Amino acid sequence: QQQVKQSPQSLIVQKGGISIINCAYENTAFDYFPWYQQFPGKGPALLIAIRPDVSEKKEGRFTISFNKSAKQFSLHIMDSQPGDSATYFCAAGGLTGGGNKLTFGTGTQLKVEL
Partner 1 sequence: DAGVTQSPTHLIKTRGQHVTLRCSPISGHKSVSWYQQVLGQGPQFIFQYYEKEERGRGNFPDRFSARQFPNYSSELNVNALLLGDSALYLCASSLDQQGVREKLFFGSGTQLSVL
Enumerate binding residues for partner 1 (CB under 8 A).
4, 6, 31-32, 34, 36, 41-46, 49, 51, 89, 91, 93, 95, 97-107
Shortest reach from residue 44's CB to partner 1, in Å: 5
Q: Which is nearer to partner 1, 17 or 31 (CB)?
A: 31
Shortest reach from residue 76's CB to partner 1, in Å: 20
31 vs 52: CA distance, rounded Å: 6
Shortest reach from residue 16's CB to partner 1, in Å: 28
Would strands 10-14 and 108-113 be described as parallel, antiparallel, or unpaired?
parallel
**3-state SS assignment for residue 84:** helix
23 vs 57: CA distance, rounded Å: 16
Shortest reach from residue 60's CB to partner 1, in Å: 16
Q: Which is nearer to partner 1, 92 or 112 (CB)?
A: 92
Q: Which is nearer to partner 1, 5 or 15 (CB)?
A: 5
- Specify whether the CB–CB gap between 5 and 104 falls below 8 A: no
Beta bridge partners of 20: 76
φ, ψ (nearest 5 deg) of residue 69 = -65, -35
Q: Which is nearer to partner 1, 84 or 93 (CB)?
A: 93
